[in-house]
A and B are shown apart, each in its own frame.
Chain A
Amino acid sequence: MGGQGIERREILRYIGIASIAGTFPGFNKWEFACPGGHAQDAATLAARGSSPYKLIFFSIEQFRMIEHLAEMIIPRDETPGATDAGVAEFIDFMLANRVPVNAKREIRSTEDAIANGNEAQGRFLAGLNWMNAHSKAEFGKEFMDCAVDQQKSLLEELAYKSKFKPATESGRQFFQLMRDYTVVGYYTTRIGLESLGYPGLRSVWPSMPGCPHLNDPEHLHLQEPKASFDIVSDWRA
């Protein structure tokens, strides 16, 4: 197409403007989770004056437990996990700033946002307490002192319908809340989006590729890939 070259340059110029990422102090974990335009190693961060993330909502004990739960929900396996993505820091920051990551009420005003934020803060703190009380009742120890298998079985009771136990509703609600924040925190980082193969990480496409299975328009004969988790997408080449 005539003129496409000039237009493409114009587009790239705008991308250049847009990719000057907003940086703010104390977020080395997020920055680590967002390579590409960001400093990645400790030395570079130190040189830039960035300090490690300072907790603004949780105590250090609560934070460790949040980090542990997040990693149980999204562990590092074939791809990085919640800790790698700074999910616990994300939760601390979002809760402290009352950001409606998981709004239980409709937010039409600043007042609504504050009320929602206060509610979320309360639910997190109560949830951590519930987990500890529950693990004490089950295993005689606080959650973080339990063995990995015990922790896993505690979470399974909250996560899988088939394993639900009576009188654990508040624990189940906390688990869902924790899972919501973890998933949002993970899949809004570059490594999270890369683990999905999110196509929007690329900002310019020559055309819309469309469906590659035109010989199977009903998509009834597609093979679901088995064991391999890290699927190389054909469009990324």
Chain B
Amino acid sequence: MAATRVFDVIVVGTGAGGGTAMKILCEAGLSVCAINSGPRTEPARDYKLHRQVYDLKYRGYGNPMRLEGKAHQEPYSVEESEYSENSDIFEHDVAYSNAPGTDWYWKRCKGTGGKANFWGRSSARFGDIDFKAAGLDGFGENWPVEYAEIAPWSTKAERYMGVASTVQNRPSNPDGEYLTPMPWRCIEYIIQKGAEKIGVPYLPDRCAQLTVAHDGHPACHYCGNCSRGCDVGSFFSPTWFTIPQAEATKNLTLLTNALVRSVLVDEDGKARGVAYIDRTTKREVELYSKVVVLAASCVETAHIMLNSKSRHWPTGIANSSGQLGRNLSEHLYGCPGYGYLPQLRGQPARPDNIADSTVAWMPRWQNLKNPHEEKFIRGYSVYMGGGCGEFPGHYSQLEGFGSEFKRNIKRYYPTPVGALIQAPTLPSSENYVDIDPRKKDIFGIPQLRFHFQWGTNELLMWEHSKQVMIDLFKAMDAELWGMDDEPNRPGTSLHETGVCRFGNDPKKYVTNKWAQTHDVPNLYICDASIFPSSTDKTTTMPIVAFTMRTCDHLLENFKKGTHSRV
């Protein structure tokens, strides 16, 4: 690459949003430089998924000393274990800060494809119940879009990714276009019967997992290791979908191990390119383009923008509203109940975990008839899992030792079930990210600092879900073994939203309804940071859908001459 080369578009990040953006822009004929923070993700090297746990030296736990000396020593999640050892796709060099009282767990995959290499694949559409929630319950603000406008983009994203589910006619969940749903396991039938008795829906999840071959991608082979990354691309991930397609156009330059520090501006304060640190040489490099798309994953996008200070933008680029970094939202995660189904005791082991997924879920059922039915506003959804898994963790519930204990471990093997709540936090002025005034990371970049607390509304949902589980287990004639005392730490879900909210009023929002920053017309955002609020649904499929829409607008602006090509 010539040092002076200028690109039509620089895309920062190659995950769900960035990968989709670069594919669309490359296919439209633009010259695109995609910048990725870490190395290229190589499935054959980085995913050891078909290995059994006994093939690993530390039985999957990994060497506890493996992150010694690193700036950030906490593992990414279950995805980072001995299965990913010797792989360098998770971020441990760049530290972040938590304000006093905040305990944010920031999990970063710096390899190409990012977090979307390992995601949970649940792909429900956002609907007007989400976009117009503020209008319904009076809290916060509506999104600048309506479902009718977004529906075609959701369809496009679903067709591209391949989502298995059924048409369900739920008021909370617009239906889409689906592949054959995943067959139900024994536990699903039992849970559904119980849920029916207490008035809770239990239906096939919207699962971006290829139950049939789709658009050149093979059908799932059900090895059950999706969360370690798919080795053949049988669920949507940038590594198997968008990145190879963008590369096939020959319009893509992909830079790896390039940590973007800031967006560069010209004399008018417009984006001129980016400055990045080459992780190998530790040198700062400047790269120029006509348009910059930030898709660095929600809070990192805000981090880059807050660090992009100039004469024009003294508090960070495109921050005339002062809203950059504000309204950090998240999903509260936690287990409100786990126990066992006595109906299945002693049954032969069944391949319950080969889809590595919740096959079905409880889509939001609260506050549907009336937005104030419950003590909390809006609503949450619940994923259920269970059956025969990789390790008989239920042993801890069984007393004793010897042959009887061993027999009981097997006898109860098909029976355990557990729940996971996915509850949206309400946007709050107390929850935000800013730049740590004192600390810099090892590359000299001022660190991102989190300020975040659970709010009353989401904690009321958490309490509500525990009671639902007590009722559900009773309705299933099942026994509840326990529940988490506290929800998981903030950040666990990986579903952070907010911090660059989109909206029509430039005084209140960072970007317009097309995810183009109000202040800097050639700076776009293609990740979940634009979503003004969290919903009960996950973010990946909507990120892809909104990115498709934003890129359409961006291309339109090239056609109209708002942006000129190189």
Contact = CB atoms under 8 A, between A and B. Distances in A.
A180 interface: yes
Contacts of B193: 217-218
B52 A201 contact: yes
A114 interface: yes
A143 to B, nearest CB: 14
B67 interface: yes
B345 to A, nearest CB: 6
A203 B50 contact: yes
Counting chain A residues whose Cβ lies within 8 A of the other chain, the interface size class is 35 or more
Contact of A219 (B220, B344, B388): B344
A110 B346 CA distance: 41
Contact of A1 (B48, B212, B232): B212
B54 A33 contact: yes
B526 to A, nearest CB: 31
Given A19-B50, A117-B64, A208-B355, A199 B74 contact: no
Interface in A189-237: 189-190, 193, 195-205, 207-213, 217-220, 222, 224-225, 229, 231-235
B402 A75 contact: yes
Interface stretch (A7-15, A53-61, A125-133): A7-15
A110 B61 CA distance: 13
B392 A200 contact: no
A199 B225 CA distance: 13
Contacts of A73: 401-402, 405
B20 to A, nearest CB: 24
Nearest to B61: A99
Contacts of B67: 109-110
A199 B184 CA distance: 16
Interface in B338-357: 341, 343-355
Contact of B401 (A72, A193, A210): A72
Interface string B386-409: 001011100110011111011101
Contacts of B400: 159-160
Contacts of A34: 52, 54-55
A134 to B, nearest CB: 16
A199 B410 CA distance: 13
Interface string B43-56: 11000111111111
A229 to B, nearest CB: 6
Interface in B33-81: 43-44, 48-65, 67-69, 73-74
B348 A234 contact: yes
A21 B55 contact: yes
Interface in B116-147: none
Nearest to A161: B399
B231 interface: yes
Nearest to B183: A210
Contacts of A114: 64
Contacts of A24: 57
A219 B351 CA distance: 17
B566 interface: no
B74 A109 contact: yes
A84 B391 CA distance: 19
Centre residue among B48, B61, B353 by max chain A CB count within 10 A? B61
A199 B353 contact: yes
A110 B74 contact: no
B354 A205 contact: yes
Contacts of B391: 184, 187-188
B182 interface: yes
B483 interface: no
A199 to B, nearest CB: 4
A190 B183 CA distance: 28
B413 interface: yes
A196 B349 contact: yes
B197 to A, nearest CB: 11
Contacts of A99: 58-59, 61-64
A211 B184 contact: yes
Contacts of B219: 1, 4, 7
A19 B64 contact: no
Given A19-B55, A110-B68, A205 B351 contact: yes
Contacts of B346: 224-225
A212 B550 CA distance: 46
Interface string A10-34: 1100110111011010000010011
B358 to A, nearest CB: 13
B382 to A, nearest CB: 20
Contacts of A110: 64-65, 67-69, 73
Contact of A210 (B184, B399, B413): B184
A98 B64 contact: yes
B300 interface: no
Contact of B390 (A79, A197, A198, A202): A198
Contacts of A107: 64
Contact of A14 (B60, B61, B68, B231): B231
A198 B388 contact: yes
Contact of A195 (B43, B55, B410): B410
Top 6 closest pairs, chain A to chain B, by CB = A210-B183, A197-B349, A199-B351, A7-B218, A224-B346, A113-B64
Given A117-B64, A196-B410, 18 more contacts: A22-B55, A34-B52, A72-B402, A99-B58, A101-B61, A109-B73, A110-B67, A155-B401, A159-B399, A193-B52, A197-B410, A198-B390, A203-B221, A207-B183, A211-B185, A211-B350, A220-B343, A233-B350
30 contacts: A1-B219, A4-B218, A7-B218, A7-B232, A8-B221, A11-B218, A19-B50, A22-B51, A22-B56, A77-B406, A94-B59, A99-B62, A160-B400, A187-B391, A187-B392, A188-B53, A188-B59, A188-B60, A193-B52, A193-B54, A195-B406, A195-B410, A196-B349, A199-B388, A211-B350, A218-B189, A220-B343, A224-B411, A234-B348, A235-B350
Interface of A: 1-4, 7-8, 10-11, 14-15, 17-19, 21-22, 24, 30, 33-34, 37, 72-75, 77, 79, 90, 94, 97-101, 107-110, 113-114, 117, 155, 159-161, 179-180, 183-185, 187-190, 193, 195-205, 207-213, 217-220, 222, 224-225, 229, 231-235
